[in-house]
Every structure is written in C-alpha cells, then in structure tokens.
Amino acid sequence: MAFKMSWKLSLLAISIFLFDALLKMYVHYFVTPMNFCYFPYGGIGVFHALGIEFVITHVINKGAMWGLFANCQFLLVSIRIFIIAALGYYLYVKQISNYRTVCLMLILAGAVGNVFDCIIYGHVIDMFCFIFWGYVYPVFNIADAAIFCGILMMLLETTCFKTVASSLK
C-alpha cells in the first residue's frame, strides 16, 4: 500500500478513536449512568419524530456485545488485545486491497477504542440509544459502530463479488 494511502487510513483510524474517546469522556463525566428502572430515558433527548427516538444516555457495559460474558472481563480484554495485535500484524504484513484495508482499519479503531475504555474506566461506555416505533435497539458507541461498519463492508464485498462472479458464469 502506498504511503499516502496508509497515512490517510491511519488518520481515519485515529480520528475515529479520538472522537469515540472524547464522546465517552463527556458522557462519563456529564451524563448520569442509566438506571434500568426508567430505561431508556434519563439521558439527553436528541430526536423524537415519526415514532423514532434518539437519546444520548450513559450505559455501563462490562461484557462484550449486549453485556455477554460480563463476569469474564480480564479474558475479554485479553482476547480483544490479541485481536488488535493480529489485525495490526495482518495489515502490516499482507498486501490487501485498499477496500479491505479500510474495513480492517475501522474494525481496528473500534477495538482499540473499546479496550481503551476497559483500561481507563473498567468497562465500556455505551451512549447511543435508538427507539424505533417502540422497539429499543441495543445501546452502542462510536467504536461499536466502526466495528459493525467494517464487518458489514467486508460481508458486502464478499457477497457482491460472489454475485458478480456467479452472473459471469
């Protein structure tokens, strides 16, 4: 990969990490942690129209997605650090497409953001709460969104290539 491209991608990853860390710091210090007896409210209402609500709230997540394995924090952090190291090594050693590199950089930036939370706060801070016509979507943060987007982009790339390849036969 060219130096100019790697510099841009590194800047993208650092920007995601910093924006995530700063927003989590703001939520940690200025938004009261959510008490589940009045879920999902208690945060800062941002948007409410057409049956859709968006609230900035403060949720403490000691586990993986949706709080799974909350009793295994040390193991989760160790696995996350191993994945970060493996992704970093893979990006450094392998020659892959720019598209795949962007996907992996999004995943890497999100993973580093969540591990940083575990080290600094002892848990991950989630803050984005969406309610779609009464259904409460799981609360997430910018790092989670970056990981999700990176994985989704990789899945779409694979699916699109398979579709195009099968149509050429």
- SS3 sequence, the chain? CCHHHHHHHHHHHHHHHHHHHHHHHHHHHHCCCCCHHHCCCCCEEEEEECCEEEEEEEEEECCCHHHCCCCCHHHHHHHHHHHHHHHHHHHHHCCCCHHHHHHHHHHHHHHHHHHHHHHHCCCEEEEEEEEECCEECCCECHHHHHHHHHHHHHHHHHHHHHHHHHHHC
Tell me whether residue 144 is one of the annotated catalytic residues: yes
Q: Given 20, 53, 117, 144, which residue is catalytic? A: 144
Q: Given 58, 126, 139, 143, which residue is catalytic? A: 126
Active site residues: 126, 144
